[in-house]
A and B are shown apart, each in its own frame.
Chain A
Amino acid sequence: MRIWANQPVWRRLFLVTGVGVAMVMIALAVLRIPAVQLALLRWAVTHGEGWHLDATRISVGPGGGEVKGVRLVMPGLTAQSEPGLVVRVDPLRWLWGKRELRVVEANVNGVTLALTPAERGDETTPFTGVLTALQAPLPWSIDHARLDAAMVMTEAGATVAKGKIGIEGGGLSSAGTGSFDYGLEMTSSVVPEWPSAGVQSTGRISVQQHANHGIGRLELRGGLTFPAFRTLPVVTGDLEVTVEATAEGERYGGGLTLAKESSVRWSANFNRATGRVEGRLTYRGDSRLVAPLFKVPPGVNGEVSGTVDFSVHPDTGAMTLTVDARGRVPDLQPMAPDWIEAGAWVGRLRATATRETARSPWSMVSSRLTIGPELQAEAVVVEGQGTESARVRLQAFPLDGLTTGLRRWGLSLAGGRAAGAWQVTWDSQRHVVVSTLTPLTVGPMRVEAGGKTDLPPVSLALDLAAQGTPERLEWEVRNLRISAGGVASSSCIDVAARGEWKGTGGGRVEKALMRWRATSAPPEAADFLSLRLVNPLDLSAEGQPRWRAGQELFQLEANEAPLSEFAPWLGEWSVMGKWRRGASLVTVADPQGGLALRTPVPWQFSGLEFGRRGEAPLWSGTFQVTPHLERHGDRWSGRCSDLAVRDSLGRVVTGTLAGAWAEGDGAYQVNLGLASTWPAGTLGPPAWGEMTVDLTLKAGLAAETVHAIETIEVVVRDAHGERARLMGAQPLLGARRPTGEWLLSSVAPWKLKIGTLPLGTLADFLPAGWRVEGELGSAEFLVSAVRDGFRFRPLQPLAVSRLNVAHSGTAVVQNADASFFPGIDLTVHYLMQPRLQVGWEASLQATEGRVRSATGELLQFEAAVGVVGDDRTALVRRVDAVARGDLSEARAVLPSWQPHLPSAGRFTARLDGGLLAGEFLDAWMRIEDVPERGGTRRLAPLEITARGKVDGARRTAEASVELRLGEEPAVSDLKFDVHFGLERESLRITSALRGKRWDMNETLAWSRAWGEPVAAASTSPGGSTPAANPVRTALGSAIWGALRGSFDLDLEEVAWTPYRIEGVRARVDLEERRLSLSGLGGRLFAGTIEGALTIDYVPGDEDGDHRLKGALQLHQFETARVAQTVFPKELGSLDARVDLHSEVKGQGNRLWELLERAEVDFGVEGKGTVRLTSPDARTASTLLVMGGLVTLSPELRALGRLLRKFAEMPVDRLLIEGGRDATGAIRLSKVWFDSPQARLVGTGDVPATSSPLAARPLDLRFDLSARDEVGLILGRMRLLESPVDAQGFRRLNQSIVVGGNVGRPDSSALYDLLARGVEGSRGTWGFIMRKVQREVERQQAQAAKAKGKAP
C-alpha cells in the first residue's frame, strides 16, 4: 500500500518531516522521561549478570545530564552516590566538527564503592580485559573530570579495608593523552594496629585512546607511602602500573620499589583467546626494610629474591602459581648472639600450586623447601605432598652452632649432627599430625661440661610425635635413648605433654609426664623416676603460667633409680647406687609464681659409691634427706630435715640444714645443725673409741659482698669427754675480691681447745715396730683470720710428758719431757679459673721449745718451718731453726744414740734457708766440751758448716761442707762437696776431699769419745756405779754411715803425732759395705809412702763388724828421722834408709779399734848405709882410741877401732821381718844385719803399750858372727867359737841382747860382753879394758840418775 503515492511532494515532505519531528519530539519526550532515561542508562551500563543500576533522579539533556541517588551493583562491587553524577557535554560536537561525545565537565562526587571480592568469580561475566570495560561506541573526549569516592572492602561481612580516592584531570581525547592526578588512601583492619593514616599514593594517570574509542593504554606513576606501623618507620616507594591493549588482549607491567632495597616487578599478558593472564612476578627483598617491625637485630641482613610465574583465568579464578624463592642470611648469629653461632644460612622454596576456580581450594602440585648452612644447603628438606602433607627431613643438621648458647651452662658441643624424618599432615581444620618416619638422632657429639673435656661422645635417639591444632597440641617424646662412647644406656626417657593454645586467650597444659624407665621394662613396670603434672596449668597469652595459690603442680617420684646411668657424664668420677625411694610435690605457693616443694616421702639413696673411676670408692653408704624448698619471687628458703648419712664404715651424720637466699642480691642465711657419730677407728685411732662431732653453724651475707660465719661451734667428744672444741662467738667476715679470692677478717679470735691426748692411743698411726708412750698435754689456741689466711696462736705451751719411743723393742727415746709454743700462720690461695685450684702457705712455729730428760735439759730450740702445698702436695719451703743442747742428756733420752754420742758435751746448731726455687740452705753446728775418753781433757771443738741447695723435684740436695776441728792456729780443716739423696738417704761426696791440715790424733780421740762404751744395763741397784767391763756395742751401720762416693783425698798434711805425713793423696771409694783407699801416696820421714787398704762392713760379726785389710809400703825413709821425731833431743841410733812393706788386717766396731787392734806383718829392708849409732859407745870408743894413742898400746887402739865399728856399722844388708798382733805387741821374727866384718842375726819383741812405736821397749837378741879385724879382736878376747863358716865368720860364743826402745836401742849389753871379755884377758889389755868397763858403768849410773830426776 502506497498511501503516499498520490500526495504532492511537499506534502509528502511535510508529512514526513512532521512525522519525523513528531517522532523525534516524542522520542525526545520519551527520553526525557526519567524512567526511560533510567532504563536507557541501565541498558547502557548493566552489561553482565548481576549488574543492577538504580537512581533516584535522572536528568539527561543535550548539554549534559545529572544522575542522583545512583546505585550501581556489580558482582563484587557496589557503587553508590547520593550527589550522583553531573556531566556536562558539548552537544554541538554531535552536530559539527569531529562529531564526538565531548564531556566538558564531569563530576562524580560522594561515591561510595563497596568492594566484596568474594562475590566475584561468576563465569557469566567473562573477563575481557581491564581496558575493554572502558569502551565507547562513539568518539569521546573528556575535557575535565573529577571523581571523589570512598571505598570499602568487605570480606565475610567485615570491613577489611577502606579508603578514598580522588581523581581529577582531563585532556583525554582520541588524539590526546589524558592526564589525571589521583590521590588514594587506604587503610586495612586485617593488620592489627594498622595506622589510621593508611597507605597513601599520589601520582598521575595517563590515558590514551585507541582507534576504536576505547582506552588503548593506561599508565599510572606515582608515589606510595606506607605509614609508620608499630616500630616500622614511614616507608616510601614508587609505583608504576601500565595496562596496554594489544591485538591479543592486554599487556600488564609495572613495579613497586620500596626504599630502593626491595622491589617487585611484574609483567603479564592477557590473551583474549585463552582468557588467561600469564606473567611473572620478580621480587627482591631486604630484611632491613622490615627489620624495625620484627626487631631484627643489627647485622642480620637477610635477602630474599625469586620469581612467581602465574597463570590466571580471571573468569574462573583458576590459577597456577610457580614460586621459586631464595633467601640468604649472611649471619644468623645476631638473631641470638647468646645462643647460636650459625654463620650464613640459605633457603630455597620451589612450589607449584593450582586451583580450579576462585572458590576451589589450592592444590599443591609440587613443593620443596630446603634450609641449611651455606655449605650444606639441604640440612632441612621439606617436601610437600599435596596441600595437606609434607615430609620433613633433617640431614646431618649441624649442631655446632648451639655451643654458644650452651656455654652459659658450661657446656659446649663439637661435631654433633642431627638427622631424622617426619611425616607432617594437616587438614583444612588445621589439624596437624607429626609422626616419625625415622627417629631423630643427634650426635655423636663431644660435650664439654664444666671445663671437662674428657666426656665421651654422646648420641641421642628419640621418637618425636605430635598432633593437634596450633591451638591444641599434643606432643610426645618417646624412647629417648642416650649412648655415650658408643655404649647405649639401659634406660630411656619418655616425655608426653598435651595442651591447648587459644591465642590471645592464653592456653593450658593439660598433661605432662616425664618417665625415666628401663629400656627393657614392660610398660606396666614402675618408672625409675617420674615427673607428672598433677593439675592442668593455665597459661597467659604471653605464655606465662597462671598460678593459683595452693595448686598442686608436679609430683616427683623415684623408685630404684640407678645412678650408674649418670656414669658417662662424670668424667673421672664414678657414682653407683640407687635413688631407692622418694616422692615430692611441687605446689604453687603464691599467685605471683611462688613454688614450694614438699617431700612427704623422704629421698633415700642406697648402695651409694662415690669415687674415681677404676679406683676404690672414696665414699660409700646410704643417704636420706627430706628437702623442703619454697620460692617467693626471687627469694628462696629451704630446709633439709631428717638428714641422715651413713657410710660403709658406720659413720653417721644426722641433723638439719636450713637456709634462705635471694637470687637478686645474693643474700642468704644458713643454719646448720649436724651431729655425727664416728665408730672407733674412723676418727682417730681405734683406741679413742667411738667419737661424736657436733657442728652448729650460722652463716649468711652480712653486707653487699661481705659474708659472715656468725657463730660456729664444733665439739669433738669421746667416751671420756670432750676432745676438742672450736668456738666462734664473733663473726668471721669474708669478702670476695673481683678475682674471686677471699679476704678474711675475724672480729675477735675464735678459740680452739684440745684436750690431753695419751700418745699410746696413736699406736695405729705409727709405722710397724714403733711404740710411743706419754701424754700430749692440752692446748688452747686463738684462731684469727687475717686477710687471706688464718693464724693459730697458743695460749699455753704444748707439753709432751713422759715421752717414750721404742722401735722393735729397743728404746729410742726414754723419759723425755718436751714443751713448746706452737703457732701456725696459714694463708690460703686459690684460683677460680679455669678451674678451682687451691694452694696454701703455712709457717709452723715452735718457740721456747725445751726437751728435758729426767736429770736435766737436753735441748732448747726455736724453729719455724715454712710449708707450701695444694690439695695433694705439701712442700717444705723454708726452715729456720736454732738449737742448743747437752749431749750427756741426749745419751739419757736417746738410748739408741748412746753408741754414737760422747759422754758429755754441748752443741749449738743453726739451720736456715730455703728448700725451693734454688735458694740456699745453710747449716752450722758446733760441738764442744766433749771430754777425751778416759780423761779430763776437752777435745778440740768441732764445727760443721754446710751450704747447699735442695732440689725438691728430684729430692736431692747438693752442699759444700767444711769441717773444722780445733781452734786457730792449730785447726784442722776439710772441705768437700756432697750430694744427698733424700729418697734413699744416701750421702755422696762429689768432690775431692781437701784440707791443709788434719789432726789424726784428735780425730781418733773424737772417734773414741763418740764411741764411748756404754755401761752394762744392770750394774747395781742404784744404777750409778759404772760397769766393770763396759760393753762395746756395734754401731749397727758402717762407720762411714750413709756416705758414698768415689773421690780424691788431697791433704797437705796429716798430723799423727809424732809423725807427719805430707802431701797425702789417695782415691777413696765408699760403698755400702766397703771403704777402699787406693793409690795412697805421701811423704814420710824423707821417704815416700804407698799403699792401699779396704774396710769391709760385716754386720752381725760379734768380734767386730768392720774388717780392715791393707798393704803399706814406705820407700827409703830415714830411720834416724823416726828416732829424732820421737826423741827430738837425741841423735838417732839407727840411721838407715830402708824400705818397709807391711800387710795389715784388723777387726773392730770403730775406726780407732781397727787401728789399735790391727794385726800387721811387716818387713824392713835396707842396703848400703845402715848405721847403728850409739852416742855412748861413740864416746867410749873415742876415749879408748885416745887412750891407745897416749899409751901407744896397740891392743887398746884395736879395741877402740872395734867399738867404733860397732857404733857405726855399715852393713850390706838390713832385713827385719815381723808382725804386730791385735793387742799391739810386735814380734820380730827375723833381724839380719850383714856387714863386711860382722853379721848379726836375731829375733825380738816389742810389747804392747799405749806409747808410740818408737818409744816402746825393745827386746832383741842377736847372734854375732865376725871375721877379719873384728874377728881377730873378738877372737883374742876369747869371745868367738872355733869353727869358721864358709864366709870366714866365727860365731860369738854367746848371744847379745839389745834393749832400750825401738827408736833408741840400748846396746850396752854388747859392751858388757866386751867388758866381760876383757876380764878374761891378761896384762895391759886386761888393765885397760877394766878401766873402760868402769868408765862405762859410771856413765850408765849418771844416765840412770838423770832419768830418775826427770818428772
Chain B
Amino acid sequence: MNRLAWSVFLVLAAVVPVRSTAAEVWKGAWRAALPGSEKSITLTLSQTTDGGIAGTVEIDGQTLGVTGRIEGAWRELVWKDAAGCLTQFRGVASGATWSGLTLAGGDGRLVDYGRVKVTRVRSP
C-alpha cells in the first residue's frame, strides 16, 4: 500500500465515524390538536446520501425508526409505532426551531391531529 492509499484510508477512517456521529438532535413536545395530551419527543436525525433523512424518534421513552426528506427549510418525517399507527410530520425548520403538524392514523382508527415543536439541542 503506497502513501496515497494510506492517505485515502486514513481520510475515510476519519470521515466515516464523523458521519455516524453527525446527527442533529431536536427535542420538544408533541401535542394533540385537542388539549389534554402532550408527549415529549426527541428526534435524532442524519442526512442520507440520497438527500433524505433517517434516524429515530423517541416518544415518551419509546424509540421508533423515522425516515423523511429535507427540502430547504421544509422537512417531512414519517414513523410508525408498534401498534401500526402511522404518523406523518411536516414542518419548517429555521435556526434552532422546527415546528409543524402531525397526522396520525391507520390501522382502522380515525385520524388524529397534532403539532410538534422542537428545538435543536445538537447540530451535526
Contacts and interface: CB of A to CB of B under 8 A. Distances in A.
Interface of A: 749, 782, 784, 789, 791, 793, 823, 825, 827, 841, 843, 845, 847-848, 862-864, 866, 880-882, 884, 906, 908-910, 912, 922, 924, 926, 928, 943, 945
B75 to A, nearest CB: 9
Contact of B101 (A827, A841, A862, A924): A862
Q: Which of B72, B113, B115 has the most CB of A within 10 A?
A: B113
Given A782-B110, A827-B34, A845-B113, A882 B101 contact: yes
B33 A789 contact: no
Contact of B73 (A793, A825, A908): A908
B30 to A, nearest CB: 12
A864 B34 CA distance: 11
Interface string B97-124: 1011101000000110101010000000
Contacts of A943: 94
A924 B92 contact: yes
B103 A825 contact: no
Contacts of B94: 910, 924, 926, 943, 945
Contact of A862 (B33, B90, B95): B90
A496 B28 CA distance: 79
A782 B95 CA distance: 39
Contact of B72 (A782, A784, A793, A908): A908
A906 B72 contact: yes
18 contacts: A823-B111, A825-B34, A827-B34, A841-B34, A841-B35, A843-B34, A845-B113, A847-B103, A847-B113, A862-B100, A864-B33, A864-B115, A880-B100, A880-B115, A882-B74, A884-B73, A884-B92, A910-B91
B99 A847 contact: no
Nearest to B33: A843
A825 B99 contact: no
Nearest to B89: A862
A928 B73 CA distance: 11
Nearest to A922: B97
- Classify the interface of chain A: helix, strand, loop or mixed: strand
A869 to B, nearest CB: 15
A377 to B, nearest CB: 63
Contacts of A793: 110-111
A793 B91 CA distance: 21
Interface string B15-35: 000000000000000000111
Given A793-B111, A845-B113, A882 B100 contact: yes
A866 B33 CA distance: 8
Contact of B92 (A825, A827, A909): A909
A827 B33 CA distance: 11
B34 A880 contact: no
- Please name the 3 residue pairs, one residue from A and one from B, whose CB atoms are nearest each other, closest first: A910-B92, A843-B33, A908-B73
A983 to B, nearest CB: 29
A928 B72 CA distance: 10
Nearest to A908: B73
Contacts of B101: 845, 847, 862-864, 880-882
B31 to A, nearest CB: 10
A791 B112 CA distance: 9
Interface residues of B, number: 22
Contacts of B91: 862, 882, 910
Nearest to B92: A910
Contact of A789 (B34, B92, B99): B34
A67 to B, nearest CB: 106
B99 A910 contact: yes
Contact of B99 (A880, A884, A908): A880
B117 A825 contact: no
Contact of A912 (B33, B34, B99, B111): B99
Given A827-B34, A922-B97, A908 B92 contact: yes
Given A825-B33, A880-B99, A926-B94, A912 B117 contact: yes
A784 B101 CA distance: 22
Contacts of A866: 33
Contacts of A880: 99-101, 115
Interface of B: 33-35, 71-74, 90-92, 94-95, 97, 99-101, 103, 110-111, 113, 115, 117
Contacts of B92: 882, 884, 908-910, 924
B113 A823 contact: yes
Nearest to A878: B115
Given A784-B110, A843-B34, A912 B73 contact: no
B57 to A, nearest CB: 18
A360 B101 CA distance: 104
A845 B103 CA distance: 10
A784 B90 CA distance: 26
Nearest to A909: B92
Contacts of B95: 945
A1064 B80 CA distance: 56
Contacts of A843: 33-34, 113
A881 B74 CA distance: 12
Contacts of B117: 912
A845 B101 CA distance: 9
Nearest to B117: A912
A845 B110 contact: no
B33 A845 contact: yes
A845 B90 CA distance: 13
B91 to A, nearest CB: 5
A858 to B, nearest CB: 15
A1323 to B, nearest CB: 77
Contacts of A910: 73, 91-92, 94, 99-100
Contact of A882 (B34, B90, B103, B113): B90
A793 B111 CA distance: 7
A922 B117 CA distance: 12
A1284 B71 CA distance: 80
B99 to A, nearest CB: 5
A1121 to B, nearest CB: 39
Q: Which of A793, A862, A881, A924 has the most CB of B within 10 A?
A: A862
Given A862-B101, A908-B74, 9 more contacts: A789-B34, A791-B110, A825-B113, A841-B34, A882-B92, A882-B100, A884-B73, A912-B115, A922-B97
Q: Which of B73, B95, B111 has the most CB of A within 10 A?
A: B73
A922 B119 CA distance: 14
B66 to A, nearest CB: 17
Contacts of A909: 92
Contacts of B34: 789, 825, 827, 841, 843
A511 B95 CA distance: 90
A667 B117 CA distance: 49
A926 B115 contact: no
A908 B99 CA distance: 13
A793 B106 CA distance: 13
A910 B113 CA distance: 17
A820 to B, nearest CB: 12
A787 to B, nearest CB: 9
A926 B33 contact: no
Contacts of A864: 33, 101, 113, 115
Contacts of A841: 34-35
A863 B35 CA distance: 17
Nearest to A827: B34
Contacts of B72: 884, 906, 908, 926, 928
A863 B103 CA distance: 11
B28 to A, nearest CB: 12
A910 B117 CA distance: 11
A1246 B34 CA distance: 69
Nearest to A866: B33
Contacts of A924: 92, 94, 97
Contacts of A791: 110
A924 B92 CA distance: 9
A1281 B71 CA distance: 78
B23 to A, nearest CB: 23
B90 to A, nearest CB: 5
A867 to B, nearest CB: 12
